[in-house]
Amino acid sequence: MWALAVAVLTGTWFLVTRRKGLTWPALGWMAATLFALAAFRNAAPGSPPIGSLIDYLAFLWAETVIAFCLVTVVVSGFRAERASQGAD
């Protein structure tokens, strides 16, 4: 879970710093990762109940990081698209 969160964070950093605009494949990948974490959590050994240690150490934090990254990419992409339209 943390590896996926760090991968999304790295992708966000590249998209925001290079002002790529709304890059739809990246947004789709980030959204898919956000929803795929629930399946990874359910595949944990022993099928831990909700509120177990894995939720507090990995799942909830990774979900928060990915959701924040997704919102950041959308907002910065929207601003970059508006700026490029204003230049035309």
pLDDT digits (tens, 9 = 90+) for 47-87: 778 778 878 888 889 999 999 999 999 999 999 999 888 77
- Number of domains the chain contains: 1
Residue ranges of alpha helices (H) inside the chain are 2-17, 24-42, 53-54, 60-87
Residue 35 near residue 21 (C-beta atoms within 8 A): no
Digit-coded pLDDT (tens) for 21-33 = 889 999 999 999 9
Q: How far apart are CA 63 and CA 13, in angstroms?
A: 17
31: in domain: no
For residue 88, name the pLDDT band (cuts at 50, 70, 90). Answer: low
19: in domain: no
37: in domain: no
65: in domain: yes
More confident site: 76 or 40: 76
15: in domain: no
Residue 39: pLDDT over 90: no
Mean pLDDT for the stretch of residues 25-50: 87
**Tokens 């789709």 — which residue?**
28
